[in-house]
Chain A
Amino acid sequence: MEFATFIVLMLLGYGFGTWAESRHYKSIEERETRYQHLPTIGLKQPLPQQGRVVKTQLAAGNVVISVDYFKRFLAALRNIFGGRVSSYETLVDRARREATLRMKESCPGATQIINVRLETASLSKNTKKGSIGSIEVFAYGTAITYK
């Protein structure tokens, strides 16, 4: 019986997880092309720009993403053999890109975002098992609007 539950959870995790991930990547890619014109840099000095500054504000975006059951199982297997845990690599990649996009979306009309910082925190309640489970990525920077 327990084994059957495990199999069902694995299948559900695999099915929904894969579907959600590909949908999320599609959405990320589409929005990334839409916001390509907005330079997002880690420098503390603004890029040379004509005109004068009309607005300065803190732009921020965050996201909490969880990994599915199937991938968590794969990662647990990896813990035995060691090596690249690619199931978690896509998780953090998605989270970082999503947070950066939300930061860009939070300041419509901005000309550039400088000094961008990305902060990652694991807020999992499964800390006792030592798994990542869900992570939070918070992106922030200074949005400057020129006229």
Chain B
Amino acid sequence: MLITNIEMIPGRQIVQHHGLVSGSTVRAKHVGRDIMASLKNIFGGELKGYTELLTESRKEAMARMKEQAKQMGANAVVNVRFSTSSVASGAAELYVYGTAVTVQ
């Protein structure tokens, strides 16, 4: 499955549009990570636990979007956008959406 965030797939031709596909996931951080994070709030620096958590969550959301595109019979998703919103304190929603297309 080809994924791009531009309107086309370079070197390929889009032959069919299937419509919007999206995937989302809501994740909360766990206590262990929170303790580490509050320590880091004193010393500063990267919060590796959170970075990993968000990477995983985005992968999950992407997987859901790909699954949806596959069901539509598409082999690529173009014009992909990401968006993040915090639903409640301590939980974040990762949302990804794009247009499912068939390319040659």
Contact = CB atoms under 8 A, between A and B. Distances in A.
Interface of A: 9, 12-13, 16-17, 20-21, 24, 44, 46, 52-53, 56-58, 60, 62-69, 71-72, 98, 114-115, 117, 119, 121, 123, 125, 127-128, 133-134, 136, 138, 140-142, 144
Contact of A134 (B2, B9, B37, B90): B37
B32 interface: no
Interface SS, B side: mixed
30 contacts: A12-B42, A13-B43, A13-B44, A16-B42, A24-B46, A44-B6, A44-B7, A53-B12, A56-B2, A56-B9, A56-B12, A57-B2, A58-B5, A62-B55, A65-B45, A65-B47, A66-B40, A66-B45, A66-B46, A69-B42, A114-B6, A117-B81, A119-B83, A125-B34, A125-B37, A134-B47, A136-B54, A138-B54, A138-B58, A138-B82
Contacts of A21: 44
B4 A142 contact: yes
Contacts of A64: 46-47, 50-51, 54
A119 B6 contact: no
Nearest to A23: B45
A66 B4 contact: no
B90 A16 contact: no
B3 interface: yes
A107 to B, nearest CB: 12
Given A62-B54, A136-B84, A17 B41 contact: no
Nearest to A59: B5
Contacts of A119: 82-84
A72 to B, nearest CB: 8
Contacts of A9: 42
A102 B2 CA distance: 20
Contacts of A136: 50-51, 54, 84
B80 interface: yes
Given A62-B54, A125-B89, A140-B82, A17 B44 contact: yes
Contact of B5 (A16, A117, A133): A117
B34 to A, nearest CB: 7
B6 A138 contact: no
Interface in B30-85: 34, 37, 40-47, 50-51, 54-55, 58, 80-84
